[in-house]
Structure 1
Amino acid sequence: MLKHTAVPGPWTLHAETPAPDADAGVLAHLPVTATVPGTVHTDLLAAGLIDDPYLDRNELLTPWIGRSRWRYETTLPEPSSAERTDLVLDGLDTLATVTVGGVERLRTRNMFRSYRVPLDPADGAGLAVTFDSPWGPFDDLDDEERRAFDSPSAHIRKMACNFGWDWGPTLVTAGLWRPVRIESWSVARLAETRVEVRAEQDAAGWRGVVEVGVELERTTTAHDVGLVVRVAGRAADVVVPAAQTAAQVTVEVPLGEDDLWWPRGSGDQPLHDVEVRLTDRETGEPLDAADRRVGFRSVEVRREPDADGESFAFVVNGRPVAALGFNWIPDDCFPHRVTHDDAAARLRDAAEANANILRVWGGGLYESDDFYAQCDELGFLVWQDFAFACAPYPEHEWMLAEVEAEARENVVRLMSHPSLVIWNGNNENWLGWDDWGWKERLGDRPWGERYYLEVLPRVVAEVSPHAFYWPGSPYSGTPEVYSNDRSRGVVHLWDGWNEQGYQVFLEDRARFVSEFGWQGPPAWRTLTDAVHDDPLTPASEGVLHHQKAVDGSLKLSRGLAPYLDEPTDMTDWHWAMQLNQARALTFAIEHFRSLRPVNMGSIVWQLNDCWPVASWAVVDSAGRRRPAWFAVRAAFAPRLATIQPRAGGLALVLVNDAGRPWSGSATVRRRGLDGRVLAEQSVTFEAGSVASATVPLDPALSSPGDPAAELLVADVDGAARAWRYFAVDRDLAYPAPRLDVTTAAPAGGDVDVTVTTDAFVRDLTVHADRLGAAASASDALVTLLPGESVTFRVAGGDPGVVAGLRGQAPVVRHAGDLVG
């Protein structure tokens, strides 16, 4: 049986060719003990030789690391008695030379692939892996090529955001970022195992189909082997003759409705074990095994012409699914540090925000097996980008070959996951061609189109023929139509953040939005744990260093200006910018969802952060939920009531993304901020599944007597209240509420904080991180009418500190704090 053995180490890290500006103090202490999986940065950090690059401006002390040549060394264990022994390197970042016993055995230039080196007892036991600077391929270009292809990440198959992004630092890594092991085997092994799983329906009902294709690697021992596949109580087997290196087995499983895998919110996620076994036909001994955990579902992306253009909608098991979710970036700049529990916490954040889809963004990684397994269990749909982002990519023959090998390996690895529903060619490269001046700059040079229209779709079709491939995000469906065309395909909407303010979202009737967002600062404690400026201001050096977006601070200010005067106090500035991020996301999501079924997807940029930074994330790098997270949770509710502008006035729109029809009654009232009812309308409604119902409102409701002192509120059966204001915050006559704050300690160590108000209060929020590093609140952005109350459960805080809360800023905030 094939035997796996981790290379035990110890490993040591050496600076083989330091950059000219290398830190002499660091070099004097080398070599140091290294960790595998790991990176040079984290090894130096663990040895106490560099300061944490996530803190203050320490990042600026580290560029030399990425421009140096590094060597990892260890000793291999004694070889086994098997016919073959291989060194398997699951992830090399990135320009690596592998030597065994002083003899070069491998050169690599792709972070996204694994590698295998056959070993021989005569090779010797010394293993060295040397990493050249990832900047090298870009630095070696002539001036003309560097101007044409100006992104370092385009010349190396490496995580693009390592070179810096508008939310991430420039920490150009090198190292063995995934495990290194020894595999010993005899006769034959499973060199590739493709498991494609689907559900099919006919007049007799549903059935599951499992198709297993394998490629074998054999030793010189030539005889037949057996391949057996078992799943859900069914089995099939074939004999693979001695001269054959490929085989295919199909198993069919009868299914009932309860056996189907559904996206979260649409049904359950039953999973089944697929066992693939390779045996020696002469001796009956097991040779190799591959197991998968699968779910049966059918998936299509429905694209049909209609009055608004062409639809783009996921259909799972024959039912349309409204996709609501987040873009996912690497959860750490050093991905080997992301544990099962880290991924579980972020996925829990997405699940509890009512999301059902995650887009794994192309400037990052093909994520770990564990990540996709957790998505399977939680019922997320996964949109997987190939690793191309925001750059023209040259089409050198070596890179074409690398991309094909990378794509094949990752499609094979991930194709069995029921969560994975779309392969996407790239992030924003079609947009770059259309809008960013690439055509003029590149002339007739190839820029990557061949990857997206030839190589990648061919690999997907060959390896996983029932999978859906899409050439880009955004993309309209054809290169002949503008890539960000709102009437078809998928779009990215960034005009609001970059230029026009979030009101511009109202102008879009996009079919599927795969990126949109608004920026804000991280939680106060996350910011102050990372930045130690004195004084701490919106323009202090450390705060600005943790703002990576071009003109990010200016855009924050410009986006706030229509609604509120920008505070000069740091605490108020922080609250105002967090609040505005939440408002922008609520505004956009409710608008897109009100277009149902014209719009069938809203994927927010972004869920998570990789370090402490001002960004578009709704959960910061410390795992703290920003107010924007609570805004998205409310806006993603399966049943949503929202008041939207429609021709001639306002309308109550009831959006039903649940799996069954929704009917009921609603009462919409125009009220004064003092609580008085000024006009009222009661209505009934019916909204089908994954559909919306629009109820026009009477002019008496839509037309205020005093815009500064009135608002609309809708109380709806089966949904949270809907609010609409007739004036922006600056112009609203916010009363000065008296907040009565009481606390109680239920069992379990949590504290209930109840806030009662004597006046209208908008977006009431408890900033729990100010009550303790581990403290979190159950809700935020709560709006109350006079005399109403709300209870926030605070977990993880010191009960004594929480009990002493008296409703004062900066812990308890509301929108009215920022006016006047």
Structure 2
Amino acid sequence: MKRQTLDTGWTISRLRAPSSAPALPNSIPATVPGNVHLDLMAAQLITDPYLDVNEISQDWVGRSAWRYRLAFDWDGEDAERIDLSCLGLDTAARLELNGTVLGETRNMHRSYRFGIGDHLKSGRNELIVDFQSAYEHGEEVRRQLGSAADIPQNYPGPSNLIRKMACNFGWDWGPTVVTSGIWKPVVIESWSKARLGSIRPEITLQGSQGVARLHVEIEWADKGTDSVALVLSIGGKRAEVRVAQGETHALIECRIDNPQVWWPHGMGGQPLYDLDLQLLGSDGTALDGWKRRVGFRSVRLDTTPDEIGSAFTLVVNDVPVFARGANWIPDDCFLPRVTRERYRERIAQARDANMNMLRVWGGGIYETDTFYEECDAAGIMVWQDFLFACATYPEEEPVYSEVEAEAREAITRLMPYASLVIWNGNNENIWGYFDWGWQDVLGNRPWGAGYYLDLLPKLVAEIDPTRPYWPGSPYSGSMEIAPNADEHGCKHIWDVWNEVGYETYRNYIPRFCSEFGWQAPPTFATLAQSIREKDRAPASPSVMHHQKATGGNDKLLQGLEGWFPHPQNFDDWLFVTQLNQARAISYGIDHMRSHRPTCMGTIVWQLNDCWPVTSWAAIDGAGRKKPLWYALKHSYAPHLLTIQPRGNGLAAVAVNDATLFWRVPFTVERFDFTGKLLARHHVWRILCDRFENTDIDIPTEVATPGDPRHEYLRARLGDAEAWWFFEKDMKLQYPQPRFDIETIQTTGGITATITAQSLLRDVCLFVDRINPNAEVDDMLVNLAPGESRTFKIKGISKEAFDDADLSAILRTANQVAERPHH
């Protein structure tokens, strides 16, 4: 097999456009992989759509048709077959080589292969790829479907009719930038005799053995009589099978005794084995090859009925795992910009926040191989949605066959990755069918249930029997039980944020919470890079344009009710809404983790952003950590101590997600805000076994305040601590924050030691205001009077920090809890 990547020399030109579109040159340099928006930006023909309100003036890009053109030389390779392999075309394309039409594509999520041996010529060749506008393609499909297309859809655009990244058309956190182009590599592959087709590796554990069982499809170039050999090597083992001429399927297997086992982050290591599959001719000549890094582990989903309802627990290597995670969306609207380094950084940020799972959400893409490789290496489990989100979907042609082909390819492609632990049919579509009024519109028309309850489970069972499948998120496990029931399956909690305050989290004890979230703006540095200084006000057109949720800014303020007064300036608005987001999500996670094993997973919405926006993300569109990220690091710690209501009193709940038992002294104390000790309870040792919780009753005399406005509890259990305030912030009589600060220059940054002279709650250092690249190691720290904490800050000098005005940099809840005086 010889491969020639076609990645240089491309140009684009516009074929059709709305009348409002500006004039363009006839030929524009293009980058492949890439897309039209990126090429227009590189040529300075459009401004960055992420800045200000530029997005709305560039709608014409996604409504235009485009031509990619490449002239390339061919040396007349002597091969029996020559194919053009296109790994990703976005979305409806027509390919032509030297005037001959090769074919058409209709799916961004599939790869395509065309035989081109009869159409190549020695010397100069011309390849043309014409892309229809996604809107035009959507209308074409709508006409084909007729009345079957008139079904509910939660967001604008034809994303439920065509197989394209749905959030391209806009979401409640994303802009409408409808892309077009060659978003993955294009390669000419020359081969003779035979080549490897699809490869389905079942990599799992059976007792003490690691099993690598590969189902291999072989494509033949001719009808000769020679056989070929498949040779599989892994972990020092080797297997070989002969395949007769014309046989298109083969099975080859290796077994390894007592292999090193792959574990989720925090439970063990992530050893990966080099798997090498070679296709050899009868004379031993290498014809083709396939290599991956694989991990041995087992996984199943426990849905056993119990006295509450039914479990929803992922079991890895026969150990029930509490999933501590976040939802993942595409990390950029312009997918080719997401490099391996960016994936690695983002997944490291998830791991550093003590996560062990990311859910790849169904309104985006089946991620690139790089994403799963990095999750394998980091021990981050992946929950993979099939690509259906917040809409009904036609089950008629031409959609059905595209869905099936796409799913077959996605399942096969992602099978090698140890991190992938569950397939999920859709995002919120079963919920929508029951609770969002869709049935009144649909009548008896198909809406997607045939995919989630029939096609997809059959495909997973056929292609990837080593992994569990679940029809939807949320879903109870039965169409006879409410899809968002607490007692069964996985739940989404969205009345919190949309309708009620985050105190309502305690009304729910789900078996697994796969979505819940709270909004906040991005970091100051990210906001400053996307919105001009004169427009930095909560209700300015630019700030509001970077808020895509309906009524989002109003909900930010509604969510402060009782906790904090409405902020009076932009800096306070930015801080208090970010603080409230962090508080809300910690509140929810701590509550749900305290109810293990009834609840066995919290997947917060969301880890990341695709552009600079006010959203539910912990990491903003520039990759900077919001206060929420630090809250997640605290609440997802393997050792969590949290104070929770239990019965008529309070209890400290020890949550042990570590692999060793936790046996340490326990102390809980009640102080007033001056630091005076008012009550104390001590236990010589508390034992909390691995993967278990222990409730520790707090005696009434400790848990009952004399003055709830001026007192708090502080509990300590080994390396963990928990604080409990008896009232919401606005009722608390916080002292004015007083502190000393000392800085020391270090390699690559500084340390800043803060010594509290008064009670300080939720200490935050927003060092990105000094240097956009600066980062602090912790936030949301509580300090009692006389206590010190040393913060490590990278990307900043002592001089720059000492010279900075700290009024907007060092913030505490004390500063924003008091009602403004008039």
Q: Which interval holds the TM-score relative to the shorter structure?
A: over 0.9
Question: Is 1:725 aligned to 2:728, yes or no?
Answer: no
For 1:350, what is the secondary structure of its paired residue? helix
CA deviation map 1:239-275 (0-9, x unaligned): 111121110011111015xx11111100011110111
Residue 307 of structure 1 and its aligned partner are, at CA, apart by 2.1
Residue in structure 2 matched with residue 42 of structure 1 by the alignment = 38
Alignment of 1:220-231 (within 5 A): 220-222=222-224, 223-231=226-234
Tell me, in whole angstroms, the C-alpha distance in 2 between the residues paired with 1:105 and 1:149: 36
Residue 533 of structure 1 and its aligned partner are, at CA, apart by 5.2
Read off the aligned partner of 2:578 and give its amino acid letter.
Q
Name which of 194, 218, 221 aligns with 1:219.
Answer: 221
Question: Is 1:245 aligned to 2:248, yes or no?
Answer: yes
With the length of structure 1 as denominator, give the TM-score of the two structures: 0.97
Residue in structure 2 matched with residue 104 of structure 1 by the alignment = 101
CA deviation map 1:664-718 (0-9, x unaligned): 2211111101111111111342222211111121111222111110111112123
Tell me, in whole angstroms, the C-alpha distance in 2 between the residues paired with 1:655 and 1:614: 32
Tell me, in whole angstroms, the C-alpha distance in 2 between the residues paired with 1:803 and 1:323: 42
Name which of 111, 114, 120 aligns with 1:117.
Answer: 114
Moved more, 373-382 or 218-227: 218-227
Question: Is 1:153 aligned to 2:175, yes or no?
Answer: no
Residue in structure 2 matched with residue 702 of structure 1 by the alignment = 703
Maintained 8 Å contact 2:149/2:394: no
Residue 773 of structure 1 and its aligned partner are, at CA, apart by 1.5
Residue 148 of structure 1 and its aligned partner are, at CA, apart by 2.2
Read off the aligned partner of 1:250 and give its amino acid letter.
E
Tell me, in whole angstroms, the C-alpha distance in 2 between the residues paired with 1:730 and 1:13: 58
Tell me, in whole angstroms, the C-alpha distance in 1 between the residues paired with 2:686 and 2:437: 49
Residue in structure 2 matched with residue 275 of structure 1 by the alignment = 276
Question: Is 1:67 aligned to 2:63, yes or no?
Answer: yes
With the length of structure 2 as denominator, give the TM-score of the two structures: 0.96
Residue in structure 2 matched with residue 818 of structure 1 by the alignment = 816
Structure 1: gaps (5+ residues): none
Maintained 8 Å contact 2:709/2:733: yes
Read off the aligned partner of 1:705 and give its amino acid letter.
G
Maintained 8 Å contact 1:516/1:605: yes
Maintained 8 Å contact 2:535/2:542: no
Name which of 209, 212, 231 aligns with 1:210.
Answer: 212
Tell me, in whole angstroms, the C-alpha distance in 2 between the residues paired with 1:218 and 1:482: 51
Residue in structure 1 matched with residue 311 of structure 2 by the alignment = 311
Tell me, in whole angstroms, the C-alpha distance in 1 between the residues paired with 2:8 and 2:556: 49
Residue in structure 2 matched with residue 196 of structure 1 by the alignment = 202
Alignment of 1:610-621 (within 5 A): 610-621=610-621
Tell me, in whole angstroms, the C-alpha distance in 2 between the residues paired with 1:588 and 1:700: 27
Tell me, in whole angstroms, the C-alpha distance in 2 between the residues paired with 1:112 and 1:144: 26
Tell me, in whole angstroms, the C-alpha distance in 2 between the residues paired with 1:458 and 1:292: 26
Alignment of 1:277-676 (within 5 A): 277-281=278-282, 283-532=283-532, 534-676=534-676
Maintained 8 Å contact 1:484/1:490: yes
Residue 742 of structure 1 and its aligned partner are, at CA, apart by 1.1
Tell me, in whole angstroms, the C-alpha distance in 2 between the residues paired with 1:296 and 1:146: 44
Name which of 164, 169, 172 aligns with 2:178.
Answer: 172
Moved more, 224-233 or 142-151: 142-151
Residue 121 of structure 1 and its aligned partner are, at CA, apart by 4.6
Name which of 245, 253, 257 aligns with 1:254.
Answer: 257
Maintained 8 Å contact 2:510/2:599: yes
Read off the aligned partner of 1:603 and give its amino acid letter.
I
Residue in structure 1 matched with residue 47 of structure 2 by the alignment = 51
Question: Is 1:6 aligned to 2:9, yes or no?
Answer: no
Maintained 8 Å contact 1:597/1:690: no
For 1:461, what is the secondary structure of its paired residue? helix
Question: Is 1:687 aligned to 2:675, yes or no?
Answer: no
Maintained 8 Å contact 1:97/1:131: yes
- State the percentage of identical aligned residues: 46
Read off the aligned partner of 2:255 and give its amino acid letter.
E
Residue 402 of structure 1 and its aligned partner are, at CA, apart by 1.1
Structure 2: gaps (5+ residues): none
Maintained 8 Å contact 1:431/1:484: yes
Alignment of 1:703-782 (within 5 A): 703-719=704-720, 721-746=721-746, 748-782=747-781
Maintained 8 Å contact 1:353/1:630: yes
Maintained 8 Å contact 2:223/2:246: no
Tell me, in whole angstroms, the C-alpha distance in 2 between the residues paired with 1:145 and 1:63: 28
Q: What RMSD in Å do the two structures reach over aligned CA positions?
A: 1.3
Tell me, in whole angstroms, the C-alpha distance in 1 between the residues paired with 2:198 and 2:149: 38
Tell me, in whole angstroms, the C-alpha distance in 1 between the residues paired with 2:86 and 2:737: 63
Moved more, 52-61 or 215-224: 215-224
For 1:500, what is the secondary structure of its paired residue? coil
Residue 322 of structure 1 and its aligned partner are, at CA, apart by 1.0
For 1:619, what is the secondary structure of its paired residue? coil
Residue in structure 1 matched with residue 14 of structure 2 by the alignment = 15
Moved more, 359-368 or 791-800: 791-800
Maintained 8 Å contact 1:515/1:604: yes
Residue 662 of structure 1 and its aligned partner are, at CA, apart by 1.4
For 1:560, what is the secondary structure of its paired residue? coil
CA deviation map 1:530-584 (0-9, x unaligned): 0115242100010000000111001111111121111120000100000000000
Tell me, in whole angstroms, the C-alpha distance in 2 between the residues paired with 1:167 and 1:159: 14
For 2:586, what is the secondary structure of its paired residue? helix
For 1:305, what is the secondary structure of its paired residue? coil
Residue 77 of structure 1 and its aligned partner are, at CA, apart by 3.1
Moved more, 470-479 or 74-83: 74-83
Tell me, in whole angstroms, the C-alpha distance in 1 between the residues paired with 2:26 and 2:383: 43
For 1:391, what is the secondary structure of its paired residue? coil
Moved over 6 A (4+): none
Maintained 8 Å contact 1:54/1:611: yes
Tell me, in whole angstroms, the C-alpha distance in 1 between the residues paired with 2:32 and 2:119: 25
Name which of 182, 186, 192 aligns with 2:192.
Answer: 186
Maintained 8 Å contact 2:272/2:295: yes
CA deviation map 1:273-312 (0-9, x unaligned): 111111111x221100011111111111111222221111
Tell me, in whole angstroms, the C-alpha distance in 1 between the residues paired with 2:397 and 2:804: 65
For 2:492, what is the secondary structure of its paired residue? strand
Maintained 8 Å contact 1:754/1:792: yes
For 1:396, what is the secondary structure of its paired residue? coil
Residues 137/562 of structure 1: CA separation in 2 closer, same or farther (3 Å cut): farther
Name which of 801, 807, 810 aligns with 1:809.
Answer: 807
Residue 324 of structure 1 and its aligned partner are, at CA, apart by 0.1
Residue 72 of structure 1 and its aligned partner are, at CA, apart by 0.4
For 2:665, what is the secondary structure of its paired residue? strand
CA deviation map 1:297-345 (0-9, x unaligned): 1111111222221111111111111110111110000111100110111
Read off the aligned partner of 1:495 and give its amino acid letter.
D
Residue 804 of structure 1 and its aligned partner are, at CA, apart by 2.8
CA deviation map 1:504-553 (0-9, x unaligned): 10000101011111110100110011011524210001000000011100
Residue in structure 2 matched with residue 799 of structure 1 by the alignment = 798
For 1:237, what is the secondary structure of its paired residue? strand
Tell me, in whole angstroms, the C-alpha distance in 1 between the residues paired with 2:274 and 2:247: 27
For 1:643, what is the secondary structure of its paired residue? strand
Residue 434 of structure 1 and its aligned partner are, at CA, apart by 1.1
Tell me, in whole angstroms, the C-alpha distance in 2 between the residues paired with 1:122 and 1:734: 78
